[in-house]
Amino acid sequence: MEHLERCAWFLRGTLVRAAVRRYLPWALVASMVAGSFVKEFSPLPESYLSNKRNVLNVYFVKLAWAWTFCLLLPFIALTNYLLTGKASLVVRRLSTLLVGTAIWYVCTALFSSIEHYTGSCYQSPALDGLRKGLQSKPQCQQEGGFWHGFDISGHSFLLAFCALMIVEEMAVLHAVRTERTHFLHMAVTALVVALGLLTCVWLWMFLCTAVYFHDFSQKVFGTMFGLLGWYGTYRFWYQKPFSPGLPPQSSSLNVKQDGYKK
């Protein structure tokens, strides 16, 4: 438990900082541009991470929203209840996950439609031999062909959006205090560590996507949609009265609080 406490303390001291929320969007853009520059002008040799079947991609990135949703759900519920003591406010804040799910669904559906309407079926990845009569990606692949269209990077979109959302929600930790011997303290500590490690995975795989996959323009659009999803919610809509609202920044409970200690 002591090691978990230390890890939680370290993550609180880094990811919870206001500077991280302020500069992370710019860091994502910079890493996308830098990684794309490497891919275009100085490609790295093939590695385990350049294989789409690597463990992080198959079991984490492809399920990025599910991981983010499942960890943020108890985290938002516990921390917001500790601060407000009101179930109605907790439910209101949990609706951010429904908004995030809607953004994920709409954007991925839009990306798929764009790839469909801009694509054609070819005999090989080198775009040799246009195969007529196959008007959809599933049909093309079933017939052994290769569908080529404008494939906006879903990874760039989702990893950026998930990382920014986690960092925004973790801002609540500035005010959360719990008795160190209480089971809620252990639960929040475990969730902080899990979310912190998940954010590190998302940022690392975002960089790997920039270095190994997609064209520059596809990653630009993917990252742009991720940033727009975050900005439109946390920087605009959630600051309005009729919205899920931002994470609470102070406690309304008058209880003895120890807090996380070094």
Catalytic residues: 155, 214
Q: Which residues contact 183 (CB under 8 A, 6 or more apart)?
A: none
Q: Which residues contact 235 (CB under 8 A, 6 or more apart)?
A: none
Three-class SS string for 156-225?
A: HHHHHHHHHHHHHHHHHHHCCCCCCCCHHHHHHHHHHHHHHHHHHHHHHHHHHHHHHCCCHHHHHHHHHH
Residue 240: how many other CB atoms lie within 10 Å: 9
Report CA-CA distances (Å) from 55 to 50, 139, 194, 213.
11, 28, 18, 16
Q: List residues bridging with 148 in a β-sheet.
A: 120
**90 in Cβ contact with 81 (< 8 Å):** yes
